[in-house]
Structure 1
Amino acid sequence: MEFWMRIYLISFLNMACCLPESSYTVHLNKLSFDTAQSHCLPGSFLTNIQKEKEMEKILKTIWDKNNKTATSFWIGLKKYKGACFRKDLPLKGFFWTVDNSTQSDVKMWETEPSNTCTDIRCGLLSVKYGETAATSIGFVDATCRQEHPFICKRNVKVTCRRPVIFGTHDIIDYSNDKDTCYVLCGSGANFTLKCSNDLVWTVSGNKNMDILQLCLECEKGYRRDASGSCVDVNECEESKPCTHRCLNTEGSYKCACSDNDKDDCDGSKLPTTDLKSNDYSNVIRGKSVLTQPTSLPDDVRMNKTDVNIEENAGDVSNIIVPVIIALLIFIVLLVIVAAIVKGCIRRRSTKLSRRKAEAVALNGSSSMEKVNEKEET
């Protein structure tokens, strides 16, 4: 009998030693009580504090945050509507939201909670900072809509469920790290996944990537890179499908060939003669329909630029020349009109002067006056 009692005792002690300790996380971002409670999910909850030892661990976690500005933290204390203030109870009528229990060895309240039965009230842990540690002042109550930092608690080590990934793939688990797995896609792409504190699988180095699509095949001519994005495959570098020059395009490639080559440049019948720079110019000018790649030599890009400049210059000249001719014609017409007007004025002045002279010579001053009167009329 004593033998079996010893066996049971040893087994119990082993289980107690192997139970995972509670872990706490302090969040300094300010949220309302309900939002903070949701933020702790799915692997945690707003902490309860049932033992003094738990209070010590929480205060140490707060101190390790190295932030002395936050003095009030949401914890999982709540008084529901209809529950009344109870001065004789340790939690004064409040409950731990994780299990609705009222058990706690921590009986310290900084101030008495509001004496009401109709309002919903939530609990805060009030702390102060010394030179070497944070100390608890006690619990206080507040309206649940207020925003404060908060403390989450995880009782046991919880791991992510097996990841769900579309497409052909294999998942390799690490025996010494349950929070990490290796994904090998049928296309050859591979990724390392990490289980976050929120129990969500994320791609190592890119937390925003959707792991569901990691192993889905890209369109022809594309493949997924290390970040999971579909990128263009450079066939010219990998498979070298062309005998002479290969032009990589988005999702495909083209083989460049000369005008005298009878074979088609489709990747199967390939040119065997060297291509000159004027051949590339012909390709760009439209004799062969090719998409200009980024790997074309500088002289090819220059030829295309020259063509564009020449075409633009021709368009401008077709507009400017007629305008200049029209301006010249207009100026000539103005000069002719001005000359005609000036000649008429001069002839009239000469005619009047001649009449005056004749009147003075023949009729004297009296005739001159008549001439002047005639002119005035």
Structure 2
Amino acid sequence: MELWTGLYLMGFLNMAFGSPEASYSIHLNKLSFEDAQNHCRPGGFLTNLTREAEIAAIQKAIWEKNNKTATSFWIGLKKNKGQCVHQTKPLKGFRWTASDSEYSHGFKWKEDPMGTCTDERCGLLWVEYSDSETKNIALGDASCKQKYPFICKRNFAVPCPSPSILGTHDIIIPQNDPYTRHIICSSGAKFTLKCSNNLVWNVEGDENSDVSQLCLQCESGYRRVASGNCVDINECELANPCKHTCQNTDGSYKCKCPYNEDSDVCGESTTPTTDLENNDVHPTYLDVNKNQPNPVSRNETAVEIEEQDGDVSNIVVPVIIALLIFVVLLVIVAAIVKGCLRRRTVKLAQKKAEAVALNGSNSMENGNENKHQSERDCKL
């Protein structure tokens, strides 16, 4: 038990007094002194300043942050209530929170801290910038409740646990950088993870990402972006699936049309040319050409029509009606033709009867004439 206690104490002292393996992270988000301390834990703490090499490393880290607007940072320097400010002491009565010491290394103060024995005061690191580096580092103080950027210190001897990621993936560990991981998902998506000061893995540039979901497929209507989060797919911009106006919704979309237009022809126009169900994509998937839908006139009242897969009755009913009209027309034409044929038959029968009657009359007249001729021949 005593052995483990000793090892832990040695590790903490190495962190506090500046091990050659210590690293420093600059945080530009403004927090109170207590919140800044909690943000650095458990893998680190608000930095102290113990050696020239450490001061140079901190200056370099501030410069590489590439933000010349932040000129004051919380560091692990504090005067508690009941302790007095002593202007003659190197640290003016303040102490390093990591080691509870007053080691000063000859630091200068930008201005003397406020003289008090009752108020709690916390230490700041003031910096100035030149064209190529930070310069003129000095100490300062402020109320611990005020909010400033802060500097965390961490020792590489404190390991970051292996990231827990669901789904099929590969992990690449860079050489000489135990706090970075490169993730390659089976879909081809790639992410870079960084281990934070509180020993939690996050996607680089996003301290609130959930790395466990990186290689899982997003829900329908969503896709994964560079931050590792699932975001809504804007179907209206990617494929313009509507004939008139397209309205993007959370996970889907709606088509709109003018008020007086037939709603049956106001829905989707064509099959989208982009795969809208591509949920697990490379982070660069956001860089696409946008096709904007035709807007509805401001003077027109739009009616929303829910997304449909297609109504078969919209095709069947008109076809049936057309067939019925065609059959009726055929019946009418047949009736007309039949009537015409019947009248023609009657007329032909009448003409035939008249012809027969006429032929009969002629035969009788010829018979009588022959009879009278015979009688005349006899008389002679």
> Which interval holds the TM-score relative to the shorter structure?
0.3 to 0.5
Q: TM-score scaled by structure 1?
A: 0.46
Higher RCO, 1 or 2 (CA under 8 Å, sep at least 6)? 2
